[in-house]
């Protein structure tokens, strides 16, 4: 069973549907026992880092996720869910993340060319760094995926699996042992995204 | 770099696609799910579903087909038509829409854009504006382009973006249906004042018009069209190849 962690941030319909279309049994849950019972975990998320962080910490889910990650359960963060994996974010202040992957999340504003639009919305190409991880084993150099974001992860070089070019090289995918993340939305990235989700789930 | 997007728009009434001819391999072109799959497989970057139903029963059929589409097709879906309240946003988002476009609803209630952006995020709120020249200035029209609001179109769009709209669909009533090309002058005027993605709509008659659009206005992010795709006049794959051959970055 694949569990999608439900903490009230964002639309889980597409992620759930795409996993089901691949033939996986999916549960959307915040129950620690169900999360423990799952073979793989997804941490999704759309919205503000502060709100998401607050919900994870105030409900105790943060400790549950950290515990399961420490035990080696495969975990994939998507979009804001990926950003939450890092130590901290500077979105409207400074907020602590889950600290599962070393790095920080910073605004694109001011660090990319001013004529570029923020958020980055649309399809952009993945460029692989050479670092390998089973979740990304079936994704190829130059394949396009769908991004929607205004912040990006930095100071995480040793864990960057792939980048994307938007005024500069932005972190697109990261991994550290059993924990990985995508800044883009695999559940909205057509066949490329489905292949990636499948690779993560079947590892 | 980020690619230019090609977006087919499907008008849906009572759960069926209005307009549309036969495509190879598509059994029923009036079935939104079948047509959406065809476009997704042909390289469409995103789909817009526009609900032109007025009745309650029609609304229900629309959300049913939206749910069916979103559970089978995994590219971004934008939904428009009949969006007047935050509950309308909720209704379509819970059926799998990724973005919601507002038009007349925002004109009737100018707070709607800001409230929706706060609740669902800027990236989720698309302002769709029908704009037409009146005495040499751009006016925004309501009710499907039938009613002149008297408001300046460019100012209206800028105001919506300031309030949190994360994307703009600009539909030029002047060029819509004429098939003589997009309204470059109007698009440029909008691109000059907003820093969120702008989607061009109205006037596409062939591949050349998309090439002209992206070459003339590099800050336009996407081209939207309906009939030329539905009637098979332009195949999305051919269009994208032509764009790439003209040095325009697309997803192929």
Is the Cβ pair A13, B75 closer than 8 Å?
no
Q: Which residues of chain A are within 8 Å of residue B94 when distances are taken between CB atoms?
A: 11, 13
Domain count of chain B?
1
Closest CA–CA distance from residue B120 to any residue of chain A (Å)? 7
**B190 in Cβ contact with B184 (< 8 Å):** no
Give catalytic residue positions of A: 79, 185, 187
Backbone dihedral angles phi then psi of residue A169, each to the nearest 5 degrees = -75, 115
Q: Which of A73, A75, A105 is nearest to A88 (CA)?
A: A105
Q: What range defines the domain where residue B75 resides?
A: 5-245
Q: Say if the ipTM goes beyond 0.85.
A: yes
Q: What range defines the domain where residue A176 resides?
A: 2-202
Active site residue B192: no
pLDDT at position B198 is 97
Say if A120 is an interface residue toward chain B (CB within 8 Å): yes
- Residues B97 and A57: their CA atoms lie apart, in Å, by 29
- Residues A51 and B224: their CA atoms lie apart, in Å, by 34
Q: Name the residue in chain A with its Cα closest to that of B194.
A: A117
Q: Name the residue in chain B with its Cα closest to that of A191.
A: B74
User: How many other CB atoms are there within 10 angstroms of residue B144's CB atom?
Assistant: 12
Supply the CATH number for residue B223's domain: 3.20.20.70
Q: Tokens for A170, please give them.
A: 């932005």
The mean pLDDT value of chain B amounts to 92
For residues B19 and A104, the model is more confident at A104
Question: How far from chain centre, in Å, is Cα A160?
Answer: 12
**A49 in Cβ contact with A25 (< 8 Å):** no
Q: Name the residue in chain B with its Cα closest to that of A170.
A: B1
Question: How far from chain centre, in Å, is Cα B168?
Answer: 9
- Residues B18 and B58: their CA atoms lie apart, in Å, by 13
Q: Which of B248, B243, B228 is nearest to B39 (CA)?
A: B228
Q: Which of A123, A146, A120 is nearest to B196 (CA)?
A: A120
Determine, yes or no, domain membership for B84. yes
Question: Tokens 């996993």, residue?
Answer: A19
- A153 forms beta bridges with A105
Q: Which of A8, A22, A148 to mutate to test the interface with B (most CBs of B within 10 A)?
A: A148
Determine, yes or no, domain membership for B159. yes
Is the Cβ pair B2, A119 closer than 8 Å?
no
Q: Which residues of chain A are within 8 Å of residue B76 when distances are taken between CB atoms?
A: 146, 188
Q: Which residues of chain B are within 8 Å of residue A165 when distances are taken between CB atoms?
A: 1
Reported as a single tens digit per residue, the pLDDT across B20-59 is 566 666 666 788 898 999 999 999 999 999 998 867 778 8
- Per-residue pLDDT for B121 more than 90? no
Q: Which of B89, B165, B251 to mutate to test the interface with A (most CBs of A within 10 A)?
A: B251
CB pairs under 8 A between A and B: 81
**Residue A35 DSSP one-character state:** H
Pair type for strands A120-125 and B5-13 = unpaired
Which among A13, A119, A187 has the least Cβ separation from residue B123?
A119
Say if A119 is an interface residue toward chain B (CB within 8 Å): yes
- Residues A44 and A37: their CA atoms lie apart, in Å, by 18
- Residues A105 and A86: their CA atoms lie apart, in Å, by 7
* Sequential pLDDT tens for chain A (203 residues): 999 999 988 779 999 999 999 999 999 999 999 999 999 999 998 888 998 999 999 999 999 999 999 999 999 999 999 999 999 999 989 999 999 999 999 999 999 998 899 889 999 999 999 999 999 999 999 999 999 999 999 999 999 999 999 999 999 999 999 999 999 999 999 999 999 999 999 99
pLDDT at position B19 is 65
Reported as a single tens digit per residue, the pLDDT across B218-240 is 999 999 998 899 888 999 999 99
Q: Tokens for B151, please give them.
A: 């408001």
- Residues B124 and A158: their CA atoms lie apart, in Å, by 33
Is the Cβ pair B98, A14 closer than 8 Å?
yes
Say if A11 is an interface residue toward chain B (CB within 8 Å): yes
**B102 in Cβ contact with B86 (< 8 Å):** no
Determine, yes or no, domain membership for B67. yes
Say if A140 is an interface residue toward chain B (CB within 8 Å): no
Largest CA distance in chain A: 48
Question: How far from chain centre, in Å, is Cα A51?
Answer: 16
Domain count of chain A?
1
Question: Tokens 């279309």, residue?
Answer: A21
Q: Which residues of chain A are within 8 Å of residue B123 when distances are taken between CB atoms?
A: 46, 119, 121, 148
Q: Mention every residue, 6+ apart, whose C-beta is less than 8 A from residue B136.
A: none
Is the Cβ pair B40, A190 closer than 8 Å?
yes
Q: Which residues of chain B are within 8 Å of residue A47 when distances are taken between CB atoms?
A: 121
Q: Name the residue in chain B with its Cα closest to that of A147.
A: B2
Supply the CATH number for residue A20's domain: 3.40.50.880
Which residue in the list B45, B51, B88, B130 is annotated as catalytic? B130
Q: Which of B232, B220, B252 is nearest to B24 (CA)?
A: B232
Peptide bond before residue B26 is cis, with ω within 30 degrees of 0:
no
Is the Cβ pair A21, B71 closer than 8 Å?
yes
Determine, yes or no, domain membership for B250. no
Pair type for strands B125-134 and B167-172 = parallel
- Please give the helix or strand (H or E) that residue B141 lies within, else none: strand B137-142
Is the Cβ pair B74, A13 closer than 8 Å?
no
């Amino acid at each position: 069973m694949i569990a999608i962690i439900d903490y009230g941030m964002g639309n889980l319909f597409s992620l759930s549907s795409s996993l089901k279309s691949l033939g996986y049994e999916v549960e959307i849950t915040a129950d620690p026992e169900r999360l423990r019972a799952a073979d793989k975990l997804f941490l999704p998320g759309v919205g503000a880092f502060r709100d998401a962080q607050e919900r994870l910490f105030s409900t105790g889910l943060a400790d549950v996720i950290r515990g399961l990650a420490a035990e080696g359960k495969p975990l994939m963060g998507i979009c804001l869910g990926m950003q939450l994996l890092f130590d901290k974010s500077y979105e409207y202040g400074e907020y602590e993340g889950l600290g599962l992957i070393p790095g920080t999340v910073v605004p694109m504003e001011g660090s990319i060319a001013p004529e570029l639009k923020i958020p980055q919305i649309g399809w952009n190409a993945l460029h692989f760094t050479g670092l390998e991880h089973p979740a990304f084993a079936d994704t190829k150099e130059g394949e396009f995926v769908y991004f929607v974001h205004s912040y990006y992860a930095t100071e995480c070089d040793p864990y960057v699996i792939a980048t994307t070019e938007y005024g500069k090289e932005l972190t697109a995918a990261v991994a550290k042992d059993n924990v990985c993340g995508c800044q883009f939305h695999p559940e909205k990235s057509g066949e490329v995204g489905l292949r990636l989700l499948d690779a993560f789930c079947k590892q | 770099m980020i690619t230019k997007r090609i977006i087919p728009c499907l008008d849906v009434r009572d759960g069926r696609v209005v307009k549309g001819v036969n495509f190879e391999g598509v059994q029923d072109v009036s079935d939104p799910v079948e047509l959406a799959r065809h476009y997704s497989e042909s390289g469409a970057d995103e789909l817009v579903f526009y609900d032109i139903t007025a009745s309650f029963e029609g609304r229900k059929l629309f959300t049913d087909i939206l749910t069916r589409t979103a559970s089978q097709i995994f590219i971004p879906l934008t939904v428009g038509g009949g969006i007047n309240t935050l509950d309308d946003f909720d209704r379509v988002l819970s059926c799998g829409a990724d973005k919601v476009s507002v038009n007349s609803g925002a004109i009737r209630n100018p707070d709607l854009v800001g409230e929706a952006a706060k609740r669902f995020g800027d990236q989720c709120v698309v302002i769709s504006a029908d704009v037409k020249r009146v005495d040499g200035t751009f006016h925004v029209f309501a009710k499907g382009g039938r009613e002149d609001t008297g408001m300046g179109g460019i100012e209206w769009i800028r105001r919506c973006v300031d309030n949190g709209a994360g994307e703009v669909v600009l539909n030029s009533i002047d060029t819509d249906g004429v098939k003589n090309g997009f309204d470059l002058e109007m698009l440029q005027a909008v691109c000059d004042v907003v820093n969120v993605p702008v989607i061009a709509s109205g006037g596409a008659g062939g591949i050349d018009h998309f090439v002209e659009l992206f070459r003339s206005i590099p800050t336009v992010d996407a081209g939207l069209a309906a009939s030329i795709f539905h009637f098979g006049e332009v195949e999305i794959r051919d269009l994208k190849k032509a764009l790439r051959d003209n040095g325009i970055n697309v997803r192929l």
